[in-house]
């Protein structure tokens, strides 16, 4: 990266006296329309200052009269221009993507340095060919990622290197633009992955919002091909195109950083794209189209706007004084690794029309994907793909197990009377959690859980707490290891702080038998060593034609001979913060009501030890009531949140740690009745009676 000097704010190498040349560099521009018009304006500025001479342009459609200085020649192609013997020193390429490689090779062979618009090539093979040609010819290739000329980038690097942001948790790029039918109709190659077998690789990640990807890679320290370890693609489209217009990329770098880009051209309104560095002590967001930084720390927020170096001027300086290129082809290797992953990925999946609203008419019509703004926010916070977040139009995650029950007609009370050909209802899916980011403590969980009528009553990776994962078992303190996710509450700090203490839970065995699922799990610390072993049993059955019951039994025992302390924020001094153990995260339902047999409202039921606790509300698909039933011998308090977020748990360690040992392992059991509709107390008591009769 080029650093700034204190006096002028220019790159250090640019402060040196300029080398004197016999003549100013002769420049040829290939492609004078579209973005080429910006190059024409920039060349006019530089020529007026005596920095360059525009000697020729090449385009099958000549520029408008008066657009060029009188000394510039006009050709239909680069081949004709070079054949005329003009010998330009620099060739600028503002042409369709699929032409970049061949034109770059021709310009390099003619002895010119090259400025090529993004993306520089349409495949990894082309990248390697052009890079090898440039090295063999001893010529320079600058790539038109203009954002990499921002003087904000050294400031971001300084914040990261100095530790001002703490430990970097991840780097994310988000972009919400809208593009019309006319945008994709402007040229033959727009919206194409290929044309007659020739790679184009247009798309939101590789072209329209390619600066977001390239800038994020640069900030994450990924420049060359070797800097990228893996690229995961989750590609979709709402437009009638070949290319993706709504996608998530997850990139892992050789330096161990995770980078997620969540981008769309189907937003309700256009927003300024940005790249954010998330740290344990703060974050910095770079709005690269404005060269603006927003730095957020514990002491508040501050904003700063920076200047930007022109990439053509930087290329001219590199020719004269060996100044480092700010956007060299070699350092576009990381971006090319991403492009190659998109090129070789399956075609983008079409987003169903029921999830898209078209606005505007004719060429001005543009699609808006329902809920896309919230999904992009969640993706950035959780480092998750649209598929992993469960977007209804995305490719579904493959569950490790599916919980099913027979659909029983209303009026049939005995489940055993249902005919064997009765349709099976999918009431829940079990995910292994391997897709979850490490700071959310990856673990198995149920999601989505549905009523018999299909209403989803769980949420996972929500924006407010991305480490909340459906239904499962989680603890924030297991001998100092966080198996809950997110920040850890400590007595010393008297607050939640980020610590490198996150564990993970993985399945070691599984046995399925009808409507039961028994598994063993290993709870491992950050070092990979097992701390706990768990025996977990899920069982489920229908209670009535409109309700079913889910039961969770789990036993925690030490993985070694030593006893293990199980704690919570409550055991570390957080008032009534004793969550941990069984936990159920619900979706948003603003009309939620929560009560027990003797009390109602969050304040009154939170911390109580009532035999059952009910939650009713209206969810996206319909209304439902959930009745959480404690085991008969249980004295664990209910943990209830309504106002901050919707969640219910049964606290395993409310105020004091619980100790598990090989002689006395910790066992817990809880049942939940999931019913359609809004039930009252009398109806709940009837349902609880029904469940006993059908046991």
Which of 348, 228, 239, 219 is CA-nearest to residue 287?
219
Q: Which residue has the higher pLDDT, 475 or 18?
A: 475
Q: Which residue has the tokens 């618009």?
A: 117
Residue 617 and residue 595 in contact, taking contact as beta carbons nearer than 8 Å = no
pLDDT at 5 (0 to 100): 32
Closest CA to 189 of 102, 97, 119: 97
CA torsion sign, 432 to 672 to 556 to 639? positive
617 and 587 Cβ atoms separated by less than 8 Å: no
Dist. CA 38–CA 96, nearest whole Å: 15
CA-based end-to-end distance of the chain = 68
Predicted local confidence at residue 273, as pLDDT: 98
Q: Cα 633–636–639 angle (5° rounding)?
A: 140
Q: Rounded to an integer, what distance in angstroms lies between the CA atom of residue 671 and that of residue 538?
A: 10
- Which is it for the CA torsion 244, 247, 251, 257, positive or negative? positive
pLDDT for 334: 98
Question: Which tokens in the block code for residue 655?
Answer: 């105020």
DSSP states along 536-592 = EEEEEEEEETTEEEEEEEEEEEESSSS-EEEE-TGGGT-TT----EEEEEPPP-TT-
Measured distance CA(175)–CA(91) in Å, rounded: 31
d(CA 438, CA 425) in angstroms, rounded, equals: 33
pLDDT of res. 255: 96
Contact criterion met (CB below 8 Å) for 93 and 104 = yes
What are the extents of the domains in the chain? Answer: 455-693
Only one residue has tokens 């200085």, namely 69
- Counting residues of the chain whose pLDDT is more than 90, the rounded percentage is 91
Give the pLDDT of residue 18. Answer: 43
What is the pLDDT, as a whole number, of residue 384? Answer: 98
Residue 528 has pLDDT above 90, yes or no: yes
478 vs 488: CA distance, rounded Å? 12
Instruction: Report whether 442 contacts 504 (CB < 8 A).
Output: yes
CA separation for the pair 366, 180 (Å, rounded): 4
Give the pLDDT confidence score for residue 35 in this predicted structure.
Answer: 94
474, HSE (Cβ side, Cα atoms, 13 Å): 30
**Cis peptide bond N-terminal to 289, omega within 30:** no
Per-residue model confidence (pLDDT) at position 298: 83
- Using DSSP's 3-state secondary structure scheme, residue 103 falls into helix
pTM for the whole structure:
0.92
Average pLDDT of the residues in 402-430:
73
Contact 81, 28 (CB under 8 A): yes
Summarised one tens digit per residue, pLDDT across range 549-567 is: 999 999 999 999 999 999 9
Query: pLDDT digits over 72-129, tens only?
Result: 999 999 999 999 999 999 999 999 999 999 999 999 999 999 999 999 999 999 999 9
Query: Pick the residue with more confidence: 275 or 4?
Result: 275
Structure tokens at 68: 């060029």
- Supply the pLDDT for residue 469: 98
CATH code: domain 455-693 is: 2.70.98
Q: What secondary structure does DSSP assign to 211-247, as a single string?
A: HHHHHHHHHTT--SGGGEEEEEEEEEESSSSSS-SEE
Confidence check: pLDDT of 508 > 80? yes
User: Which pLDDT band, with edges at 50, 70 and 90, does 23 fall under?
Assistant: confident
- For residue 127 the two structure tokens come to 């990248």
CA distances from 232 to 228, 253, 338 (A): 11, 12, 9
Distance CA 459, CA 468 (A): 8
Nearest to 478 by CA among 608, 609, 572: 572
The pLDDT of residue 71 is 85
Tell me the three state secondary structure of residue 146.
helix
- In this model, does residue 419 exceed pLDDT 80? no
- For 429-440, write each residue's pLDDT tens digit: 999 999 999 999
Determine the length of the chain. Answer: 695
What's the Cα-to-Cα distance from 527 to each of 501, 503, 524, 530, rounded to whole Å?
A: 9, 8, 8, 9
Q: For the chain, how long is the longest CA-to-CA vector?
A: 99
The tens digit of pLDDT for each residue in 220-267 reads: 999 999 999 999 999 999 999 999 999 999 999 999 999 999 999 999
């Amino acid at each position: 990266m080029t650093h700034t000097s204190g006096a002028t704010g220019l790159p250090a190498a640019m402060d040196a006296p300029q080398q004197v040349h016999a003549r100013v560099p002769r420049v040829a521009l290939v492609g004078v329309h579209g973005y080429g018009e910006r190059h024409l304006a920039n060349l006019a500025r530089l020529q007026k200052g005596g920095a360059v001479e525009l000697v020729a342009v090449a385009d099958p459609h000549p520029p408008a009269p008066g657009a060029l200085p009188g000394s510039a020649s006009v050709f239909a192609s680069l081949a004709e221009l070079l054949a005329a013997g003009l010998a330009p020193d620099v060739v600028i390429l503002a042409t369709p993507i699929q032409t970049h490689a061949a034109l770059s090779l021709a310009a390099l062979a003619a002895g010119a340095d090259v400025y090529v618009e993004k993306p520089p090539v349409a495949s990894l093979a082309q990248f390697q060919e052009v890079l090898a040609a440039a090295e063999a010819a001893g010529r320079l290739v600058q790539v038109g990622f203009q954002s990499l000329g921002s003087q904000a980038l050294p400031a971001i690097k300084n914040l990261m290197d100095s530790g001002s942001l703490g430990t970097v948790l991840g780097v994310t790029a988000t972009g919400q633009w809208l593009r019309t039918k006319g945008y994709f109709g402007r040229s033959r190659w727009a919206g194409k992955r290929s044309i007659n077998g020739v790679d184009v690789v247009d798309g939101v990640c590789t072209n329209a919002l390619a600066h977001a990807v390239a800038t994020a890679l640069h900030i994450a320290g990924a420049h060359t091909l070797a800097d990228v370890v893996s690229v995961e693609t989750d590609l979709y489209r709402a437009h009638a195109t070949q290319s993706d217009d709504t996608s998530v990329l997850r990139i892992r770098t050789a330096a161990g950083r995770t980078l997620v880009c969540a981008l769309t051209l189907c937003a309700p309104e256009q927003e300024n794209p940005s790249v954010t560095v998330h740290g344990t002590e703060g974050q910095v967001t770079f709005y690269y189209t404005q060269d603006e930084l927003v730095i957020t720390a514990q002491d508040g927020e501050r904003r700063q706007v920076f200047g930007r170096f022109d990439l053509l001027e930087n290329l001219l300086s590199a020719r004269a004084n060996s100044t480092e290129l700010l956007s060299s082809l070699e350092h576009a290797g990381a971006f090319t690794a991403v492009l190659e992953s998109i090129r070789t990925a399956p075609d983008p999946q079409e987003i169903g029309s029921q999830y898209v609203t078209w606005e505007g008419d004719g060429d001005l019509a543009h699609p808006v994907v329902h809920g896309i703004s919230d999904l992009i926010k969640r993706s950035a916070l959780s480092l998750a793909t649209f598929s992993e977040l469960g977007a209804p139009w995305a490719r579904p995650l493959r569950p490790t197990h599916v919980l099913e029950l027979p659909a029983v007609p209303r009026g049939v009370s005995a489940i055993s009377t249902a005919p064997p050909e009765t349709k099976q209802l999918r009431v829940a899916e079990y995910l292994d959690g391997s897709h979850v980011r490490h700071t959310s403590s990856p673990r198995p969980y149920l999601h989505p859980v549905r009523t018999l009528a299909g209403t989803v009553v769980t949420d996972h990776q929500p924006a407010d707490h991305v480490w909340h994962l459906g239904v499962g078992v989680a603890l924030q303190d297991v001998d100092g290891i966080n198996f809950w996710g997110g920040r850890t509450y400590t007595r010393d700090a008297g607050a939640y702080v980020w610590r490198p203490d996150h564990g993970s839970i993985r399945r070691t065995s599984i046995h399925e038998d009808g409507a039961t699922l028994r598994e063993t799990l290993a709870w491992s610390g950050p070092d990979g060593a097992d701390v706990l072993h768990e025996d977990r049993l899920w069982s489920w059955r229908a209670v009535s034609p409109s309700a079913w019951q889910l039961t969770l039994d789990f036993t925690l025992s030490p993985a070694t001979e030593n006893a293990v302390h199980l704690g919570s924020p409550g055991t570390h001094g957080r008032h009534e913060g004793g969550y941990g153990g069984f936990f159920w995260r619900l979706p948003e339902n603003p009309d939620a009501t929560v009560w027990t047999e003797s009390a109602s409202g969050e304040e009154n039921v939170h911390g109580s030890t009532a035999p059952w606790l009910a939650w009713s509300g209206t969810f996206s698909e319909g209304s439902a009531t959930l009745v959480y039933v404690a085991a008969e011998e249980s004295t664990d308090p209910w943990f209830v949140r309504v106002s901050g977020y919707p969640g219910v748990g049964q606290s395993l360690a409310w105020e004091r740690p619980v100790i598990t040992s090989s002689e006395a392992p910790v066992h817990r059991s809880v049942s939940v009745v999931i019913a359609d509709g809004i039930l009252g107390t009398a109806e709940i008591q009837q349902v609880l009676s029904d469940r006993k009769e059908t046991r």
